């Protein structure tokens, strides 16, 4: 039975602060079955516009495309929502350890990850880009020859970078925990380029006019899906609400809100 009395405003976006919040206790993890209670979502809030920390009026709140989707789904299914922030690399281990009921982090459902977690349907497609200081003259991955390239630890961009490094002479990879650090390293010249997904790169470019980006031609899966512990009964419920969001136009509305009119 659905408990629908949790209205949107009561959905608690608990801890926006960076750090280790302990997720909810065992009886409420990997939920499903009867709705009610709290769902804990883990994310890596370094990824605007998917999820990032907004500091306004002295408070810190995690906001973004994924957060709006998660809030909507939780409300529809009659749960409260708690959000916990961690490094991207820690998200799948958190699911495996039962410290979160689901992950939304612009995460791509790769075959490798499917060995360890279950995924919802893909809710947004993306592409990869190479970001580099303006005038760097990079037009394709071959131009990464001899360059140090930053990627996020544990991301598909890291995997892509590893593949490229096998064929591009002298290219070295530098894996960092947070996208902000990658941008800082680029700005200080400690790395020459970075591989970052298109919409996320765009946001950083808008704030860093000294950087530019070029798209990498089709390189495997890049879309985002919601991740769950293996065998979670939530997958079906989440997929149902995602499908409803597609057909009602709500998903499109959120895409326009967070990615702008030009988005697919
Ligand atoms: N889509 C990429 C992946 O799954 C990158 C996601 C990074 N997300 C984040 N919140 N930092 O590996």
Closest CA relative to residue 76, chosen from 250, 231, 223, 259: 250
Q: What is the pLDDT of residue 236?
A: 98
Decide: 85 in ligand 1 pocket, CB within 6 A.
no
Closest CA relative to residue 44, chosen from 94, 109, 119: 94
Q: What is the pLDDT of residue 28?
A: 43
C-alpha 2 – ligand 1 centre gap (Å): 32
Kindly report which listed range (111-125, 218-232, 242-256) carries the lowest average pLDDT score.
218-232
Kindly report which listed range (24-38, 103-117, 176-190) carries the lowest average pLDDT score.
24-38
C-alpha 3 – ligand 1 centre gap (Å): 33
Q: What is the pLDDT of residue 179?
A: 96
C-alpha 129 – ligand 1 centre gap (Å): 13
With beta carbons less than 8 A apart as the criterion, state whether 41 and 84 touch. yes
Ligand 1 atom with the shortest distance to the CA of 50: 10
With beta carbons less than 8 A apart as the criterion, state whether 132 and 212 touch. yes
What is the number of alpha carbons within 13 Å of residue 92 lying toward its C-beta? 18
pLDDT tens digit sequence for 2-44: 333 332 332 333 333 333 343 333 344 444 444 579 999 999 9
C-alpha 261 – ligand 1 centre gap (Å): 23
b (16+ CB within 10 A) / e for 196-218: bbbbbbbbbbeebeebbbbebee
Decide: 108 in ligand 1 pocket, CB within 6 A.
yes
**DSSP label of 23:** P
Kindly report which listed range (33-37, 189-193, 199-203, 211-215) carries the lowest average pLDDT score.
33-37
Q: Cα 144 to chain center, whole Å?
A: 25
pTM for the model stands at: 0.85
Q: H or E element: which one contains 59?
A: strand 59-63
pLDDT tens digit sequence for 49-59: 999 999 987 88
Q: Is pLDDT at 213 greater than 60 in this prediction? A: yes
The pLDDT-based confidence of 263 (bands split at 50, 70, 90) is: low
Q: Which residues contact 48 (CB under 8 A, 6 or more apart)?
A: 64, 200, 203, 204
Ligand 1, from 43, 45, 84, 157: best to mutate by most atoms within 8 Å of Cβ?
157
């Amino acid at each position: 039975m659905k408990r629908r009395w949790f209205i949107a405003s009561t959905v608690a976006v608990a801890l926006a602060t960076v750090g280790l919040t302990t997720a909810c206790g065992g009886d409420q993890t990997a939920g499903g079955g009867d709705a009610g209670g709290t769902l804990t979502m883990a994310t890596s809030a370094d990824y605007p516009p998917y999820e990032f920390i907004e500091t306004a009026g002295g408070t810190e709140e995690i906001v973004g495309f994924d957060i709006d989707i998660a809030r909507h789904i939780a409300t529809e299914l009659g749960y409260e929502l708690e959000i916990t922030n961690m490094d991207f690399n820690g998200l799948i281990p958190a699911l495996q350890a039962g410290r979160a009921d689901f992950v939304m982090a612009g995460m791509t459902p790769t075959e490798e990850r499917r060995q360890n977690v279950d995924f919802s349907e893909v809710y947004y497609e993306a592409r990869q880009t190479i970001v580099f200081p303006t005038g760097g003259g990079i037009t394709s991955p071959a131009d990464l020859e001899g360059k140090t390239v930053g990627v996020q630890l544990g991301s598909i961009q890291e995997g892509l970078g590893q593949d490229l490094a096998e064929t591009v002479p002298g290219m070295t990879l530098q894996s960092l925990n947070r996208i902000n650090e990658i941008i800082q390293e680029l700005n200080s010249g400690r790395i020459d380029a970075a591989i970052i997904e298109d919409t996320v790169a765009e946001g950083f470019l808008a704030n860093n006019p000294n950087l530019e980006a070029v798209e990498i031609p089709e390189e495997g899966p890049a879309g985002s899906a919601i991740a769950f512990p293996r065998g979670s009964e939530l997958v079906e419920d989440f997929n149902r609400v995602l499908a409803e969001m597609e057909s009602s136009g709500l998903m499109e509305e959120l895409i326009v809100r967070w990615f702008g009119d030009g988005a697919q």
